[in-house]
Amino acid sequence: MNAHQQPALVIENVSVSYGHVRAVTDFNLSVNSGEVVALLGPNGAGKTTTLRAVSGLLPIQSGRVTLCGQLVSGLRPDQIARSGLLQVPEGRQVVAPLTVLENLQMAGLASKRCPPKELNAEIERIFTMFPNIARRRDVASGLLSGGEQQMLAIGRALIARPVALLLDEPSMGLSPLLTEVIYEFFALRAEVFGNVAVILAEQSRIALSVADRVCVLSKGQVVFTGLSSEFSQSLMVRAYLGVDAKASV
């Protein structure tokens, strides 16, 4: 990245509560275009809460989110999505009765970010990327396997030409084999994500295999942010045990 360029996505001091219960406190993270940051943490650490707050699905108690320098926190979720900040939620969300092709068409049109004239070419690009779902383009998406639905959910987000993409536990509910298949696609970084700024939330270290940097959450607080290569197993263990990992870095 050019030193004068700003990060695509900047999350500053974001705190989120459920009623009186604080779930995430002062979350800070900047992600550059073309960068993948793994957001790691155990069950209940606050990964989903953070991602949902960033994409406007949960109210932010304090802090701000900017996309390419434009303030997006405070906008409605649909406005945030149209500005180019897309989330692939936990548990994959595809429209089960619609075919694979219809799901992609719908996502492309609804986003208003892909010009209708370019939609077919964009869908073919997604199909080239994910041949597993290309073969099933006329099948109702509810009949796809978990791994195929995950690919479709990612395809639906990519077709909206995101500036930033939030992937919430794409391996959740998948067998180790299907998880491997999904991560083989993620490993084709440039082809799949291109210039998109990506946050990839996972409970396990698997996300490290494709991430440039890692951010670890424990009990709603960031306890480590650094290069994937600087990340150690002991940090992960400490995060999982709820020990203040800041003390060790």
Q: Please list, in sequence order, all residues whose beta carbon lies within 8 angstroms of the beta carbon of residue 232, skipping any fewer than 6 positions away.
A: none
Token digits for 178?
């299907």
- Considering the complex, what minimum distance in angstroms separates the CB of residue 167 from ligand ATP? 12
Closest by alpha carbon to 198, among 169, 163, 226? Answer: 163
Is the Cβ of residue 43 or residue 233 nearer to ligand ATP in the bound state?
A: 43
Is the Cβ of residue 22 or residue 189 nearer to ligand ATP in the bound state?
A: 22
- Considering the complex, what minimum distance in angstroms separates the CB of residue 225 from ligand ATP? 16
Is the Cβ of residue 7 or residue 41 nearer to ligand ATP in the bound state?
A: 41
Closest by alpha carbon to 156, among 75, 98, 74, 203? Answer: 98
Q: Please list, in sequence order, all residues whose beta carbon lies within 8 angstroms of the beta carbon of residue 196, skipping any fewer than 6 positions away.
A: 8, 33, 34, 158, 162, 163, 164, 165
- Considering the complex, what minimum distance in angstroms separates the CB of residue 16 from ligand ATP? 8
Is the Cβ of residue 163 or residue 214 nearer to ligand ATP in the bound state?
A: 214
Question: Footprint of ligand ATP on this chain (CB under 6 A)?
Answer: 18, 21, 23, 41, 43-49, 90, 203
- Considering the complex, what minimum distance in angstroms separates the CB of residue 54 from ligand ATP? 12
- Considering the complex, what minimum distance in angstroms separates the CB of residue 205 from ligand ATP? 14
Token digits for 226?
């650094």
Token digits for 151?
């690919």
Is the Cβ of residue 142 or residue 242 nearer to ligand ATP in the bound state?
A: 242
